[in-house]
């Protein structure tokens, strides 16, 4: 499987199978004429080139998969010049990320079913898992959200009866490192009626009412199908029925915040367009290809904003390689080591080139597999700050008017019996005109990396540190040039002070220096002469400065530039040292001298690597909090820049990052300087402000007298540093909401409860910034439809919503009773269930008359165990292996290869098709009882150490979504969504089926299928008379075995009744390797211990066809070098005879000792 340095012992054994000489030779399905070189033969043709191959990463190509390989890119690093990396330097490939930072969807569910007459079943697996994901732009530049639809389809074992499906699904966080969850916002049920899917939409009801309605439909012959879904804590609970052939549960989710980070430009010349990377992984279920659970369609569709594209695998092949290695290293289990990555192919004809991708297969992969869409999205800059004499100084407030249809559903009934409206208002604050003589102290803080890696040569003969020096000097000159214009515009006054602090750091503070200048000294003539002397050593300009008495000003600036030019590389890198040094210098030199004055600061953080030690994020937060930082920018240059760290530091500084392998060329440098100057000017315009919000009063008639209420209440506000103070009660009939903590120049979003129509509110709304009224306007609400309703409901439920990390609640207005009242109104109006579980989405539709499902036949409630306290090791999809073997079973029966049987072993009854002694077929038996096995069957006791409890932990095993004799917790006790890594560990990376590792499952399945093919061609025997204890027959009656059956499953013994062989339809448990029963036992519910998730196996032809479909879909994952065997195209399996398929199975790779 794996190659080169990534090879593991388990994977080597699979890879070795590819070089074993197969019986019969040739391809799996021999063709009349040679098909030419296969996929991997092409790879050999390219071997003469310098290729990077990434085992375990594949590009979807129609029905095939191509292993990712590309010409090794040229990435210059300090190591090329014998500069060794230090601990913390990010030596991974540019644009790479790690497994813990993936936005990773992991669908962990448990489903039980009940029938009108047949016995109930537990832990039933779906026959379709479909993802439809859309990455959307968030509320802020560089932030993104997710809309996700998951479709789960369940097929009835007895379509002539009514079936009820009851599922529970554990909620999840989208990422291990981002505290944002996938929230259920909508549910649709579907019933397959007369060849068509009939949708059953849902309406909100109180939970008790919804359950009663579903029960009434299910238990009566109403000709309807009903469904309901509730959410309580971190568990989603859905029920659907009665359905006939198949039923679907369609769950729609939203996630307010995805993990993203700044993309590094790999082209020469630096950053041409600032883009963000959003890695989205959709985990697929997996199963051994001889397990009937693998008969499941998987489908994924992903959309992204306009201008988005996939991170180019050929250019960024090293980034994909590093991610694959991170996936393999993130867990000790083999499932993690064998995680496969599929890159989907683009959908042709979609608006916006490369903005949608698709992947589909009709069977499950035989190893843990994810569909990875690593999306590159262009960032939208917030615009340029314009400086001129007519610059408006008033705050602008935009009242966002929803679409008329949405506005209806944002109407709520308040206690005054009046209708009110929930509206948003965006305010863009501006500093009011400054009073003459007021003083502002602004500080530019440059934190600059001078570690040893900056000694790398670039741009000809200069090293990185020299380039930093030149860039920082030029940045300083650009700002100096802007000062006269800012004075003319009134942004800066003569009384203001401009400080510049430089902190040069490696593993400590290397150098500190700076300059302080009075703005009154920087008139246009002085600045022009100063620029000429500093940049061109103009003697005449220097003489003019001296004549004006400003020779000392020139000397201070010249000393600062000389100190900057003298910085040289050395040492390791500690962002902590730089941030702490800058904070301490600011506290001493600025606040120590100018305490009590209005102070602002702008930070430029320049680096060529990552933080080598210490809690740098806490140090950055302290800098922002204590040094009056308004905004900042991170510039990262070089291959060792830690993109995640740089992106996080930029967000903490309330700014952006520009990352590149090399310094920008002239045109791009000018573009970056312009953006930096724009952000710098915005910072100069800021100051701490206080905001008041009101809209007069409304009058209403109570029994005793007229009463007054606020025309508008501010319920929430989002913005940096915001908090609510006590309301302003200066007016006798209404109050004003008061907010502080905002800086002039920053924006905020207000969430309003208006008792006035929006047209009247637009004229009455008054927003005051430092007693200066804002200019109010009305614009269209950007959020629409269910996304808008979900946003409001999430805020009211105190759950995750866009920007919620910065939101604050106005507790003087939004008391608990009002919050619950508004939540209920929105839940019913928008058809969205509440987070608390008080409401449920329920629906019913006229479908088809079906036999009712009585209460005692309905499925048992699926059970959910708390993931937070889990100690058992994962074994299967939604299950856990007990820490000690269960009683009465052999826990050590794993054999990876067949052995020659001894005479004693051959004395065992020969009835088991795959019960080859001591590990042949499906593994060693628990005893020599000889119970049935084979393709979609197995031996009593299971292989590879599977306990009797099987997948879902019966007989002492524990199951996250299954029955257990251990301590279980009710859904109400499970209140925290789980991170993806926890769901992966707990479910065996979404394993469908029995307990075995992917490597062992592949070896066993190949041998099992080969043996089945041999037996399927044998002559069929007559059905023997059933052998049963007379006492059992007297108690339960005779076995209703058909006198003659068209199909006989040779070698398969019923694990419940002992019938040998099984005739008619055989039922195989997907939860265990070795559980097979007759249809009679399945209908009566006579299941052997550990058996669950029963699937019907009509005959050997069906079994071989299903297994070969999985083999042809996924052979590259197991035998990547056997393109010669599988060929370039797949045959039509439906057209092949049993003999053809049997011959193909004989050619499957398998290992012999």
The full 3-state SS of 741-802, as one line of letters, equals EEECCCEEEEEEEECCCHHHHHHHCEEEECCEECEEEEEECCCCHHHHHHHHHHHHCCCCCC
* Separation between Cα atoms, residue 289 and residue 1146, nearest integer Å: 15
- Identify the pLDDT of residue 1126: 80
pLDDT at 483 exceeding the cut of 50? yes
The more confidently predicted of residues 782 and 864 is 782
pLDDT tens by residue, 834-849:
777 778 889 999 998 8
* Separation between Cα atoms, residue 916 and residue 1, nearest integer Å: 27
Give the pair of three-digit tokens for residue 748.
Answer: 């905020």
Q: How far is CA 936 from CA 661, 961, 1004, 1048, 1066, in A?
A: 54, 23, 12, 15, 9
pLDDT tens by residue, 602-659:
999 999 887 766 688 999 999 999 999 999 999 998 888 889 999 999 999 988 898 8
pLDDT tens by residue, 435-461:
788 899 999 999 999 887 777 777 666
Max Cα separation, the chain? 123
Are 228 and 841 within 8 A, CB to CB?
yes
* Separation between Cα atoms, residue 793 and residue 787, nearest integer Å: 10
* Separation between Cα atoms, residue 644 and residue 92, nearest integer Å: 12
Residue of 287, 320, 395, 353 lying closest to 102 (CA atoms): 320
pLDDT at 38 exceeding the cut of 90? no
What is the pLDDT averaged over residues 1034-1061?
73
The more confidently predicted of residues 670 and 708 is 708
* Separation between Cα atoms, residue 544 and residue 532, nearest integer Å: 11
Least reliable range by pLDDT among 22-31, 447-456, 642-651, 904-913: 904-913
- Identify the pLDDT of residue 4: 33
Least reliable range by pLDDT among 753-762, 956-965, 1012-1021: 956-965
Assign 938 a pLDDT band (cuts: 50, 70, 90).
very low
pLDDT at 421 exceeding the cut of 50? yes
Burial 957-990 (b: 16+ CB within 10 A, else e): bbbbbbbbebebeebeebeebbbbbbbbbbbbbb
User: Which of the residue ranges 722-726, 882-886, 1009-1013 has the most confident prediction, judged by mean pLDDT?
Assistant: 722-726
Are 945 and 894 within 8 A, CB to CB?
yes
Secondary structure of residue 108 in the 3-state scheme: coil
pLDDT at 518 exceeding the cut of 90? yes
Are 897 and 1153 within 8 A, CB to CB?
yes
Assign 726 a pLDDT band (cuts: 50, 70, 90).
very high
* Separation between Cα atoms, residue 958 and residue 956, nearest integer Å: 7
- Identify the pLDDT of residue 1087: 95
- Identify the pLDDT of residue 837: 74
CA 401 from centroid of its chain's CA atoms: 32
Least reliable range by pLDDT among 211-225, 588-602, 793-807, 1127-1141: 793-807
- Identify the pLDDT of residue 1030: 63
DSSP state of 616: H
Residues above pLDDT 70, as percent of the chain: 78
- Identify the pLDDT of residue 722: 85
153 φ, ψ (degrees, to nearest 5): -115, 135
The more confidently predicted of residues 653 and 1042 is 653
Average pLDDT, the chain: 79
pLDDT at 1034 exceeding the cut of 60? yes
pLDDT tens by residue, 770-784:
888 889 999 999 888
Give the pair of three-digit tokens for residue 178.
Answer: 């981002």
User: In 10 A of CB 928, how many CB atoms?
Assistant: 13
pLDDT at 384 exceeding the cut of 70? no
- Identify the pLDDT of residue 1035: 61
- Identify the pLDDT of residue 153: 97
Assign 996 a pLDDT band (cuts: 50, 70, 90).
confident
- Identify the pLDDT of residue 75: 82
Assign 351 a pLDDT band (cuts: 50, 70, 90).
low
What is the pLDDT averaged over residues 72-101?
82
Task: Provide the β-strand partners of residue 110.
Answer: 168
pLDDT at 87 exceeding the cut of 50? yes
pLDDT at 1079 exceeding the cut of 90? yes
What is the pLDDT averaged over residues 1042-1058?
76
Burial 57-87 (b: 16+ CB within 10 A, else e): bbbbeeebbbbbbbeeeeeebbeeeebebbe
Least reliable range by pLDDT among 1-5, 288-292, 810-814: 1-5
pLDDT at 391 exceeding the cut of 50? no
CA 622 from centroid of its chain's CA atoms: 30
Between β-strands 173-175 and 345-346, what pairing exists: parallel, antiparallel or unpaired? unpaired
Which strand (E) or helix (H) includes residue 1140?
A: helix 1138-1146
pLDDT tens by residue, 297-329:
999 999 998 889 999 999 999 999 999 999 988
The more confidently predicted of residues 915 and 261 is 261
The more confidently predicted of residues 668 and 38 is 668
Assign 929 a pLDDT band (cuts: 50, 70, 90).
very low
Least reliable range by pLDDT among 86-95, 801-810, 1019-1028: 1019-1028
pTM across the whole model: 0.80
Residues above pLDDT 90, as percent of the chain: 42
């Amino acid at each position: 499987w794996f190659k080169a340095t990534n090879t593991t012992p388990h994977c080597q054994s699979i890879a070795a199978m590819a070089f074993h000489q197969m019986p019969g030779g040739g391809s799996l399905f021999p063709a009349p004429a040679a098909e030419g070189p296969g996929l991997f033969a092409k790879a050999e043709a390219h071997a003469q080139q310098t290729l990077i191959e990434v085992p375990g990463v594949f590009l979807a190509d129609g029905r095939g998969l191509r292993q990712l390989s590309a010409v090794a890119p040229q990435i210059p690093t300090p190591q090329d010049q014998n500069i060794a990396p230090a601990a913390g330097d990010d030596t991974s490939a540019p644009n790479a990320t790690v497994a813990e930072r993936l936005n990773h969807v992991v669908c962990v569910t448990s489903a039980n079913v009940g029938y009108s007459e047949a016995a109930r079943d537990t832990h039933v697996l779906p026959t379709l898992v479909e993802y439809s994901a859309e990455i959307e732009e968030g509320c802020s530049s560089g932030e993104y959200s997710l809309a996700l639809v998951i479709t789960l389809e369940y097929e009835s074992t007895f379509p002539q009866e009514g079936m009820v499906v009851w599922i529970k699904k554990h909620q999840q966080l989208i990422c291990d490192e981002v505290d944002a969850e996938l929230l259920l916002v909508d549910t649709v049920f579907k019933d397959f009626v007369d060849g068509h899917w009939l949708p059953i939409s849902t309406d909100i009801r109180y939970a008790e009412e919804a359950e009663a309605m579903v029960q009434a439909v299910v238990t009566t012959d109403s000709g309807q199908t009903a469904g309901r879904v509730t959410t309580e804590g971190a568990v989603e609970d859905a029920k659907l029925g009665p359905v006939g052939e198949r039923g679907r549960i369609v769950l729609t989710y939203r996630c307010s915040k995805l993990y993203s980070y700044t993309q590094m430009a790999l082209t020469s010349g630096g950053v041409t367009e600032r883009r963000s990377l959003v890695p989205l992984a959709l985990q697929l279920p997996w199963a051994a290809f001889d397990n009937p659970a693998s008969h499941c369609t998987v489908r994924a569709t992903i959309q992204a904003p306009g201008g988005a594209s996939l991170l180019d695998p050929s250019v960024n092949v090293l980034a994909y390689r590093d991610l694959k290695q991170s996936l393999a290293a993130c867990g000790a289990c083999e499932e993690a080591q064998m995680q496969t990555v599929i890159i989907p192919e683009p959908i042709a004809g979609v608006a916006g080139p490369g903005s949608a991708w698709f992947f589909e297969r009709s069977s499950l992969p035989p190893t843990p597999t994810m569909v990875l869409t690593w999306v590159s999205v262009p960032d939208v800059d917030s615009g340029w700050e314009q400086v001129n004499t007519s610059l408006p100084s008033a705050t602008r407030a935009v009242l966002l008017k929803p679409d008329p249809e949405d506005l209806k559903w944002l109407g709520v009934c308040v206690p005054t019996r009046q209708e009110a409206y929930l509206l948003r208002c965006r305010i863009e604050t501006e500093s009011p005109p400054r009073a003459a003589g007021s003083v502002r102290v602004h500080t530019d803080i440059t934190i600059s990396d001078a570690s040893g890696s900056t000694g790398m040569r670039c741009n000809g003969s200069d090293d990185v540190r020299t380039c930093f020096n030149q860039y920082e000097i030029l940045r300083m000159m650009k700002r100096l040039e802007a000062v006269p214009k800012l004075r003319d515009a009134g942004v800066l006054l003569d009384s203001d002070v401009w400080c510049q602090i430089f902190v040069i750091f490696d593993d400590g503070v290397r150098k500190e220096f700076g300059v302080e200048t009075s703005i009154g000294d920087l008139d246009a003539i002085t600045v022009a002469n100063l620029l000429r002397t500093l940049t061109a050593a103009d003697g005449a300009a220097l003489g003019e400065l001296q004549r004006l008495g400003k020779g000392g000003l020139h000397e201070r600036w010249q000393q600062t530039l000389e100190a900057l030019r003298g910085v040289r590389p050395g040492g390791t890198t500690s962002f902590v040292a730089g941030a702490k040094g800058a904070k301490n210098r600011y506290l001493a030199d600025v606040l120590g001298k100018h305490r009590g004055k209005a102070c602002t600061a702008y930070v430029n953080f320049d680096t060529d690597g990552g933080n080598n030690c210490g809690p740098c994020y806490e140090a950055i937060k302290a800098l922002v909090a204590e040094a009056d930082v308004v905004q900042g920018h991170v510039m990262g240059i070089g291959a060792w820049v830690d993109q995640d760290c740089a992106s996080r530091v930029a967000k903490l500084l309330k700014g952006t990052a520009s990352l590149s392998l090399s310094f920008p060329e002239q045109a791009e440098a000018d573009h970056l300087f312009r953006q930096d100057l724009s952000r710098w000017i915005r910072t100069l315009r800021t100051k701490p402000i206080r905001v008041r919000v009101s809209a007069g009063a409304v009058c209403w008639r109570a029994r005793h007298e007229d009463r007054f209420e606020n025309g508008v209440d501010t319920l929430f506000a989002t913005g940096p540093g915001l908090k609510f103070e006590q309301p302003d009660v200066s007016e006798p009939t209404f109050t004003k909401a008061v907010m502080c903590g905002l800086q002039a120049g920053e924006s905020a979003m207000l969430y309003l409860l208006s008792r006035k129509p929006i047209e009247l509110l637009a004229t009455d709304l008054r927003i005051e910034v430092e007693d200066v009224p804002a200019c109010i306007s009305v614009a269209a609400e950007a959020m629409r439809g269910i996304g808008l309703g979900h946003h409001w409901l999430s805020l009211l439920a105190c759950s995750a919503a866009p920007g919620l990390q910065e939101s604050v609640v106005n507790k003087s207005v939004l008391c608990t009773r009002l919050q619950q009242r508004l939540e209920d109104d929105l839940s019913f109006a928008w058809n969205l269930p509440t987070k608390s579980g008080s409401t449920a989405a329920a629906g019913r539709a006229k479908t088809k008359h079906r036999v009712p499902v009585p209460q005692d036949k309905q499925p048992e409630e699926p059970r959910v165990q708390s993931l937070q306290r889990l100690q058992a090791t994962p074994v299967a999809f939604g299950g856990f292996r007990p820490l000690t073997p269960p009683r009465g079973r052999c826990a050590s029966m794993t054999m990876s290869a067949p052995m020659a049987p001894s005479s004693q072993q051959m004395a065992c009854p020969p009835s088991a098709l795959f019960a080859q002694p001591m590990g042949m077929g499906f593994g060693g038996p628990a005893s020599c009882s000889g119970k049935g096995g084979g393709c979609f069957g197995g031996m009593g006791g299971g292989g590879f150490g599977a306990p009797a409890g099987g997948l879902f932990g019966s007989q002492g095993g524990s199951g996250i979504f299954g029955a257990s004799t251990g301590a279980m917790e009710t859904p109400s006790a499970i209140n925290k969504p789980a991170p993806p890594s926890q769901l992966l560990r707990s479910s065996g990376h979404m394993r469908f089926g029995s307990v075995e590792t992917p490597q062992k499952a592949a070896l066993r399945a190949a041998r099992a299928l080969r043996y089945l093919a041999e037996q399927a061609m044998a002559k069929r025997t007559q059905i023997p008379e059933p052998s049963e204890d007379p006492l059992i027959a007297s108690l339960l009656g005779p076995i209703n075995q058909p006198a003659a059956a068209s199909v006989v499953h040779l070698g398969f013994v019923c694990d419940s009744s002992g019938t040998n062989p099984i005739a008619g339809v055989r039922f195989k448990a997907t939860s265990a390797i070795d559980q097979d029963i007759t249809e009679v036992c399945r209908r009566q519910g006579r299941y052997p211990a550990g058996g669950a998730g029963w699937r019907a196996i009509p005959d050997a032809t069906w079994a071989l066809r299903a297994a070969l479909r999985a083999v042809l879909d996924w052979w590259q994952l197991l035998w990547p070098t056997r393109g010669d065997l599988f060929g370039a195209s797949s045959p039509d399996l439906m057209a092949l005879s049993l003999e053809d398929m049997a011959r193909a199975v004989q050619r499957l790779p398998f290992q012999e000792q």
